[in-house]
Amino acid sequence: MVLSFTSCEPNEQVEPQKDLLPARFRVEIPNSISNINGFNSGRASGRIKEDTLQGNDIYLHLNTFIAVGDGAAQIAEEIINGIRKYKIDRVQSLTFTSDDDGRTKNLVVLSDVAFEGASWDYELTVTDAQSETQTDGGKALQVFWNRSQLVKGIAIIKPFNTDRIENADSKDAVFRIDYTEGGSLSYDAYMEVTISGLTLDNPLNDPFSVSTLKMFAGKKGDVVDVFGNTNHPNAKFFTGKVGFNWAFVASGNDATDIAVAEVGLPPSALDNSQRNVLLNEFSIKNVFTTEITTVWPGIDQTLLNAYLANTEAPGYFGGKTGFISAGVSPGVNWDVLANRIKVLAPYNPKTISQLVVTFK
């Protein structure tokens, strides 16, 4: 499910210099809740023959989805840093050849622009020159930002137009990063990552394929709060019902490498934003219980309870061990994070299922 995104420019060391480009464009997320290497598609499906569903199996997709959102923001930042070699210090336009796909790219910098009802000091747009007559205008990157000590901006990227070799199978994927430092949300910095067009060829009905994702990450000191949804339109669990959101909230401490998370599995078409509905009514435990007892109505309750023991919310994590416990805190350090997620809520599933990321 993970797309291979690469910058239009080589990954080279860039000397510090005065330019117009924003210095930062991302909130770094602790490894305890963001780990792309743990992904193993389909492991949490059809596991009724085991004695207990393992905690790392339950939550490993959470780590992956957060890592996908985090990776999108990282790539946006890397592309911006790659463009620094052109010393963007004024309103200008230029043409260059991408070292990734060998195609000609056009770059334009404008000042004093408007986008989505807001005024921006600068707008930078990179297009794939040979496809500028296409419906998407050949747009590969568009960045809007204000020139101040505290960065605020929007970056929109279409990986296919940044590198048509590496992203040949991802023609429709577009993602967007809204990044703010300071602001009114009591975080040092926060970002909202939105991705659409991730619908995958899914002949095996993999229950964790993704078409859209939206995620918020806010950093305050060493702590990062994260919440969001991913839409799985072709997903099937035990009964074969199709379509659900993986709705999640989490909080992690970068310094101590610990985290707490809670996940719900509401239907993709559900039009509801209430935390109690998304994470309690449609908790993993409730959804799995309903699905399993529908298929096996006579299942022994003791066996079912044992199998779902690790689905109690929230889940607690730490270091390389990953999952530690379900529903029972390992200690006071985790309690601080558990209290933080009580005020976090995912997005409305229906809204996430229908979202589309577009350029200006």
Alpha carbon distance 46, 353 (integer Å): 25
**Those residues with Cβ within 8 angstroms of residue 197's Cβ, 6 or more apart along the chain or in another chain:** 170, 172, 173, 174, 211, 356, 357
Helix (H, G, I), strand (E, B) or coil at 162: helix
42: left (phi over 0), alpha (psi -120 to 50) or beta: left
**DSSP calls for 327-347:** SS-SSHHHHHHHHHHTT----
How many Cβ atoms sit within 10 Å of the Cβ of residue 292? 18
- Position 36 scores a pLDDT of 55
Q: What is the mean pLDDT of each run of 10 residues along the chain (360 residues)?
A: 39 52 89 62 37 72 84 86 79 88 93 95 94 95 91 94 88 93 92 85 51 95 96 80 91 95 95 98 94 92 91 91 92 97 97 95
**120, burial (CB in 10 Å: exposed 0-12, middle 13-18, buried 19+):** buried
Distance CA 20, CA 146 (A): 9
Length of the chain as a residue count: 360
The CA distance from 274 to 202, in Å, is 31
Q: Identify the CA nearest to 25 among candidates 78, 99, 104, 61.
A: 78
Copy the structure tokens of residue 171: 């023609």
Q: What is the DSSP string of 39-84?
A: --TTTTSS-TTSSS--HHHHHHHHHHHHHHHHHHHHHHHHHHHHHG
Question: Do 346 and 226 meet the contact criterion of CB atoms below 8 Å apart?
Answer: no
Q: What is the pLDDT of residue 18?
A: 65
Separation between Cα atoms, residue 5 and residue 67, nearest integer Å: 13
pLDDT score recorded for residue 38: 45
Two tokens, residue 314: 């929230």
pTM of the model: 0.87
User: b/e per residue, 242-269, with b = 16+ CB within 10 A?
Assistant: ebbbbbbbbbbbbebbbbbbbbbbbbbe
Give the DSSP H or E segment for 209. none
3-state helix, strand, coil in the chain (%, to 5): 25, 30, 45
Sequence-distant (6+) residues with CB within 8 A of 236 are 45, 205, 207, 242
